[in-house]
Amino acid sequence: MNFSWNEKQIEIKENVIEFCQTTLIENIFQLEQQEEFNIEGWKKCGEWGIMGLLISQEYGGKELDTLTTIYALEGLGYGCKDNGLLFSIAAHTWACELPILTFGTPEQKLKYLPKLAKGELIGGHAVTEPEAGSDVYSLQTTAQRKGDKYLLNGRKMFVTNGAIANLILVFATLDPERGKRGITCFLVEKDFPGFIVKKKMSKMGLRTAQMSELFLDNCEVPAANLLGKEGAGMAVFSHSIEWERGFILASAIGTMERLLEQCIQYAKHRQQFQQPIGKFQLVASKLVDMKMRLETARSLLYKFGWLKQTGKSAFMEAAMAKLYISESWVQSCLDAIQIHGGYGYLTELGLERELRDALGSRLYSGTSEIQYQIIAQFMGL
């Protein structure tokens, strides 16, 4: 097994970090306090090609391989402190672009991917409903064929990018009696009649990412916007959730590395009892724990990346990466605050924001409990 990166891969990651540090310089404190979407940051990322890392050149993307993509995303998390922006990009990439890339017809790919890859269109997906959260396949939104259209009716919750998206993948059932086999996926544009953004959902973290409740009220979707076949929604979802789960926290590896470096610097310079606090074993052990978590989380991410790059199914590895990275991110934020003492508790240092952002990762793309359940099932339990 080879853990080294080649020169080109290292250069791409360094370029992403440099881009973030020189160009993504919006005032994150203000944006996050006002729960404002970082539209300038989004546009700059689009121009750079961040949303097109995986997309083939034919559709205007950079066509990087899977491992190089996650390495670049790690750089994005290291360089950019706006986790809300990164989360919006991740939802756009893994929950919208990737399913179109995998299941779209040539016409659908040509119509949507070039603009999604440049960030000119914003994407998302809507599967969760008031009564269908973790038990996602119990969704009740219906789709009915009427001539050359489908009519969608239902209510969707927690849709990342919901209010600002131009294109949402909506999962609905053609026939609730058919259970999972009735689920079908549709490409819904925001201007389709009956597509209603109901309410912006205010949240504790990732506040620059917009989240909304959506209503579909006889929403008219052309038959050409079926993604995959009728009844293939479960296959579309389970394929894309594997990728989403495994990779959605790639940028968090970079974030954890940045936090660790910040904490090491602080522990070396902050003096108490006439010595740097890093000399106290109880402080040093927190830093070692942060380092151990970072490296273990990184290994799980790379292992999953390698499995996907080699075309293997890795549902359990996706759950393991998601579970471990999210829990590690939360714990490392707690440690970072503790190491900084009272200063860590202050808003201006940004660590409490990092913690609030990290906590969301235990919930989206399947809660930590659901990841435990998946791993247990793969262990034959």
Catalytic residue among 26, 129, 213, 244: 244
Interacting residue with ligand FAD among 19, 59, 158, 237 (CB under 6 A): 158
Q: Is 364 in the site for ligand FAD (CB under 6 A)?
A: yes
Note if 40 is an active site residue. no
Distance set, CA 200 to CA 15, 45, 212, 366 (Å): 35, 24, 4, 21
Nearer to ligand FAD by Cβ, of 68 and 161: the residue is 161
Residue 278, token pair as written in the block: 């890093």
376: Cβ contacts below 8 Å, ≥ 6 apart: none
Interacting residue with ligand FAD among 66, 160, 210, 255 (CB under 6 A): 160
**Environment class of residue 367 by beta-carbon count within 10 Å: exposed (0-12), middle (13-18) or buried (19+)?**
middle
DSSP single-letter state for residue 129: B
Q: In this chain, which stretch among 63-71, 154-162, 232-240, 261-269 interacts with ligand FAD, using CB under 6 A?
A: 154-162
Interacting residue with ligand FAD among 91, 143, 152, 339 (CB under 6 A): 91
Shortest approach of ligand FAD to residue 171 CB, angstroms?
8
Shortest approach of ligand FAD to residue 309 CB, angstroms?
25
Q: Are 252 and 329 in contact (CB under 8 A)?
A: yes
Q: Are 268 and 276 in contact (CB under 8 A)?
A: yes
The site string for ligand FAD over 94-133 (x = CB under 6 A, - otherwise) reads ------------------------------xxxxx----x
Q: Is 373 in the site for ligand FAD (CB under 6 A)?
A: yes
Distance set, CA 48 to CA 19, 76, 250, 275, 314 (Å): 8, 12, 18, 45, 30
d(CA 68, CA 63): 10
Site for ligand FAD in 16-75 (CB under 6 A): none
Shortest approach of ligand FAD to residue 96 CB, angstroms?
9
d(CA 18, CA 181): 47
Q: Which position's Cβ is nearest ligand FAD? A: 133
Nearer to ligand FAD by Cβ, of 53 and 159: the residue is 159
Instruction: Give the distance, in angstroms, between the CA of residue 3 and the centroid of all CA atoms in the same chain.
Output: 24
DSSP single-letter state for residue 93: I
Shortest approach of ligand FAD to residue 146 CB, angstroms?
25
Bridging pattern class, strands 123-126 and 167-173: parallel
Shortest approach of ligand FAD to residue 361 CB, angstroms?
8
- Residue ranges in contact with ligand FAD by CB under 6 A: 91, 124-128, 133-134, 158-160, 206, 211, 360, 363-364, 366-367, 369-370, 373
